[in-house]
């Protein structure tokens, strides 16, 4: 009888342990993320899914995209963006400027010497990138703050924030709402909206690092890029725009026909490649704000995953992960090496407040800032 009771007790413990393990496993996302690792008093992990089984995860720390699970040509789901698998690492490495998956503001890209003049007033921004201000510049830039999150339904989530007058040197109190939508055509749409109570400058974007191989342990320079752009804006040795607009014809910047990103990325006979340490430049899009037209595609020949890109913005910052160096510990403990992912940041041109000849980034009271970008995923078998 005693042995029988011990056996029953042992079996009961084993059943509870199995149930606990099953419960834990069920809580993990398709990309293997544990929501508990993102849970603090002010942060959490949020999951969107569509009818095709695609999954995108977010955190409200920086309004970030954490993972994007899409099917490859074998119908195996792959995580095609870099990031971390816990909130502590986002906080740790975010301060070092990698910005995996983050919403960027108030001003995406660089403002030369951190200065601009608006309505005869000169504003000084924090300097955080050589002599320049990059991606808002300060400690409360959009990628460093906690956003309010509202998961509308299984395919839509809203992030909102208020940036007060004078924060990080910018004028005006700006209220921002960003909506991510995961549609049933396997597209991820990002809609940005904002208003201000005082004239200011605004240039919002997202800093997702895409790797369509789903393997962050090596570079993905064999991925094939197409960009509908005849020109790009030149940069100096500090990667700030000079004001000069160059033609892509006959240069490593010509992606008008499908070209492997690694083919010319180290062509140091081109001074712009030297200045940007590879690709870290703004392309002037031929689509001219027509979001119905695809401005670019990225394709991985090994997985068959293709990403088409659409925007109503005039420019695109293509950054080829030149400063990834293995020091960032990402999901599953992977140390991301150089050029293991690429950013496609739709935007107005860098430093536009100091170049009145370029499309304006000024937002005034009574106006509504609104822009949309779409990344659409498919497979070529």
pLDDT digits (tens, 9 = 90+) for 230-253: 999 999 999 999 999 999 999 999
Taking only the tens place, the pLDDT of each residue in 104-128 is 999 999 999 999 999 999 999 999 9
Catalytic residue, chosen from 55, 158, 167, 345, is 345
Q: Are 144 and 115 in contact (CB under 8 A)?
A: no
The answer to whether 101 and 209 are in contact (CB under 8 A) is yes
Domain membership flag for residue 12: no
CATH of the domain at 179: 2.70.98.10
Question: Would you say 175 and 181 are in contact if contact means Cβ atoms under 8 Å apart?
Answer: no
Range 184-192 average pLDDT: 98
Predicted local distance difference test score (pLDDT) of residue 96? 64
Query: Which residue is catalytic, options 207, 281, 348, 355?
Result: 207
d(CA 259, CA 257): 6
- The confidence band for 26, taking pLDDT boundaries of 50, 70 and 90, is low
Q: Please check whether residue 292 lies inside any domain of the structure.
A: no
Q: What pLDDT is attached to residue 8?
A: 42
Beta partners for 117? 122
355 is an active site residue? no
Judge whether 87 lies within some domain.
Answer: yes
Tokens standing for 175?
């209220």
Instruction: Kindly state whether residue 238 falls inside one of the protein's structural domains.
Output: no
345 assigned to some structural domain: yes
By percentage, how much of the chain surpasses pLDDT 70? 92
Give me the pLDDT at residue 95, please: 63
Residue 16 lies in a domain: no
What is the residue range of 360's domain?
35-220+319-379
Q: Where are the beta strands (DSSP E) in 29-97?
A: 45-49, 55-59, 64-71, 77-79
Q: How far apart, in whole angstroms, are the C-alpha atoms of residue 55 and residue 155?
A: 9
The answer to whether residue 281 is domain-embedded is no
Active site residue 345: yes
Q: Is residue 48 part of a domain?
A: yes
For CA atoms 70, 215, 263, 346, give the dihedral sign: positive
Q: Domain count for the chain, please give it.
A: 1
What SS3 state is found at 40?
Answer: coil
């Amino acid at each position: 009888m005693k042995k029988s009771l011990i056996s029953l007790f042992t079996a009961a413990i084993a059943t509870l342990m199995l149930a606990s393990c099953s419960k834990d496993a069920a809580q993990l996302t398709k990309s293997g993320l544990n929501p508990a690792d993102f849970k603090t008093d002010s942060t959490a992990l949020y999951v969107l899914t569509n009818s095709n089984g695609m999954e995108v995860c977010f955190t409200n720390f920086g309004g970030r995209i954490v993972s994007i699970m899409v099917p490859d040509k074998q119908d195996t789901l792959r995580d095609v963006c870099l990031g971390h698998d816990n909130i502590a690492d986002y906080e740790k490495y975010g301060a070092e400027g990698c910005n995996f998956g983050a919403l960027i503001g108030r001003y995406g890209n660089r403002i030369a010497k951190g200065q601009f003049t608006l309505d005869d007033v000169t504003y000084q921004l924090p300097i955080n990138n050589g002599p320049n201000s990059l991606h808002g510049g300060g400690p409360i830039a959009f990628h460093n703050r906690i956003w309010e999150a509202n998961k509308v339904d299984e395919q839509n989530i809203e992030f909102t924030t208020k940036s007060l007058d004078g924060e990080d040197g910018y004028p005006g109190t700006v209220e921002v709402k960003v909506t991510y939508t995961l549609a049933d055509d396997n597209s991820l749409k990002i809609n940005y909206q904002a208003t201000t109570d005082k004239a200011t400058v605004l240039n919002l974007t997202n800093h997702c690092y895409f790797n369509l191989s789903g393997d962050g342990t090596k570079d993905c320079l064999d991925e094939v890029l197409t960009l509908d752009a005849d020109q790009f804006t030149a940069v100096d040795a500090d990667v700030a725009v000079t004001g000069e607009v160059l033609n892509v014809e006959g240069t490593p910047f010509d992606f008008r026909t499908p070209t492997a990103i690694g083919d010319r990325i180290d062509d140091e006979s081109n001074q712009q490649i030297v200045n940007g340490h590879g690709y870290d430049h703004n392309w002037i899009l031929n689509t001219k704000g027509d979001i119905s037209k695809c401005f670019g595609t990225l394709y991985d020949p090994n997985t068959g995953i293709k990403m088409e890109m659409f925007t109503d913005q005039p420019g695109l910052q293509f950054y080829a992960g030149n400063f990834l160096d293995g020091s960032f510990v990402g999901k599953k403990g992977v140390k991301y090496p150089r050029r293991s992912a690429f950013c496609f940041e739709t935007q107005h041109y860098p430093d536009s407040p100091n170049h009145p000849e370029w499309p304006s980034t000024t937002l005034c009271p009574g106006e509504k800032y609104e822009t949309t970008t779409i990344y659409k995923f498919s497979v070529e078998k």
